[in-house]
Chain A
């Protein structure tokens, strides 16, 4: 018997974007208030999981054609890379720096290298969570 999931499919189309917006909000909020790369990454992953639950794996992989193992690797590279970047400037490992910028429409914002670190964390979380869930769902190797 085919499951009639038309409500789920319709709702998910909208909800996924709300979740992704929340994830981006949480990611940037993490600079001074609760949130950050780890939470943001988990929320992004939850949006993807919702897509996988609603549509089948092949369809989602057509839409998001990325190897999540490589996403995780890229994330680790960014996170460790920011730490390593400070070494190149002769500072202690993992030293972070921040600078105030004037961005049109948004006004004065502080941009820090810690953002890149957090992006790395977020990508790692997304990559790892998705790899684990997809491997369990597929049930075979690789």
Chain B
């Protein structure tokens, strides 16, 4: 038992409440947010170390033993994602301090962002399938408010679609949970896993599994991503960056968690279907990424490509592929936040949304131009940045399981990522500048700092793979062998 596990959920909620009372003190709000997030990063790193040395930890709410009570489980997979989620949120918040208007700050933007983070952390850490639903809802309710906050016409249009799609998905989620509870009679994930394994391959369980797959595919943007490019391009830049970095990752996490732990008895149906969906997502995302000239759309379709790539691992279903998927997810959270912040800054600097209307940004903003190169190289997966390690591990996993089609499509999509961003780079960053020195919009250092910080984080994830590898292999081992997880929860 260690209460450290619930802190990533409880602290953002308590601080968000505190900030509601400090509504009119903008600077105090900012200071509290920074202190909180730094403290949370420290705590989640401590938790990671604890899990690494002493194995999977759990905390039973109210002292109710599993499988009866609700519990939070800290396994290396979840905790690594929590660490990165907090770090990325800190960078987005730092950017938000500069780009939010005072009016916006008074409309509870920071409390809502913290609430969303609480939901994201809770979804990663929970060990109870109904609690997963609740944490999803916490995250989604905050995101509904954040997407509509500001009330511009296109925000309302997109938020309506976003809310309706997610309500339908949440309803399906609830129905799927009810089916599962009716069949298995438990909600504790480890207990479900145990009973499903005892039952063996069962058509009813497989049907329920497909229900869950549809739900998480909608939330995570796996094939059913039609809502994603629209909704991710309307909110203010730092919020869109948080969405891109965190929200789809929660859906991906849920797919990986449920299909490595709960529904493992008929992989030819479920895992096969996920592979087909992932490959289709990669192809459709690639088409989208090269079809648009609006840089926000290009960035959004890059998110879709990331989702497809990570979920190729479920089809391969071996330790190397899961290690690659986890590493790539961590990289993708950092990379996508950075890409969205950069694209938002480009729009802020030029007042244009299409990359062929921009030109020669590097002449006025040299460091910013180089940061674009960094994010492009990182997302493509070139060393020494973070995408490389994940892609190599994933490649090994796919080769080991003989999924050569996945391999070809996955790496083909990397080339498309490179192409889609290189076009933007050549047009908007390089080229002749059209703005005279005296007319240029000033790029504040406080806007550049979070971008540089994310770039440094990407470099760190890539260059210090040696230090991170033990944690990642720990996590992959738990994913590849569900008995470790079940043993940790129900064994004691």
Contact = CB atoms under 8 A, between A and B. Distances in A.
Interface of A: 69-70, 73-74, 76-77, 80-81, 83-84, 86-87, 91-96, 141
Interface stretch (B54-62, B241-249, B275-283, B377-385): B54-62
A77 B62 CA distance: 18
Contacts of B20: 69-70, 73
Interface residues of B, number: 17
Contact of A77 (B1, B6, B14, B63): B14
B13 A92 contact: no
Contacts of A83: 6, 10, 61
B470 interface: no
A93 B151 contact: no
A91 B13 CA distance: 20
Given A69-B20, A70-B21, A141-B151, A95 B13 contact: no
B63 A91 contact: yes
Interface string B1-21: 101001000100110011011
B21 A93 contact: no
Contacts of B14: 77, 80-81, 84
A68 to B, nearest CB: 12
Given A80-B17, A94-B62, 7 more contacts: A77-B17, A80-B13, A83-B61, A86-B62, A93-B3, A95-B63, A141-B151
21 contacts: A69-B20, A70-B21, A73-B21, A76-B13, A76-B17, A77-B17, A80-B13, A80-B14, A83-B10, A91-B63, A92-B3, A92-B61, A92-B62, A92-B63, A93-B6, A93-B59, A93-B61, A93-B62, A93-B72, A94-B62, A141-B151
Interface of B: 1, 3, 6, 10, 13-14, 17-18, 20-21, 59-63, 72, 151
B17 A87 contact: no
B481 to A, nearest CB: 28
Contacts of A91: 63
Q: Tell me if B's interface is mostly helix, strand, loop or mixed.
A: helix
Contacts of B62: 86, 92-96
Contacts of B6: 83, 87, 93
Q: Tell me if A's interface is mostly helix, strand, loop or mixed.
A: helix
Contacts of B63: 91-92, 95
Question: Which of B6, B17, B18 has the largest count of A CB atoms less than 10 A from its CB?
Answer: B17
A69 B62 CA distance: 29
Contacts of B60: 92
B10 A80 contact: yes
A95 B13 CA distance: 18
Contacts of B61: 83, 92-94
Nearest to A74: B17
Contacts of A80: 10, 13-14, 17
A73 B17 CA distance: 5
Contact of B3 (A73, A87, A96): A87
A83 B62 CA distance: 8
Contacts of A77: 14, 17-18
Nearest to B108: A69
A97 to B, nearest CB: 10
A141 B1 CA distance: 46
Given A80-B10, A84-B10, A92 B17 contact: no
A96 B69 CA distance: 14
Contacts of A94: 61-62
A76 B111 CA distance: 13
B135 to A, nearest CB: 14
B66 to A, nearest CB: 12
The 10 A-B residue pairs whose C-beta atoms are closest, nearest first, are: A73-B20, A94-B61, A77-B17, A94-B62, A93-B6, A87-B3, A92-B63, A73-B17, A95-B62, A76-B17
Contacts of B3: 87, 92-93
A73 B61 CA distance: 23
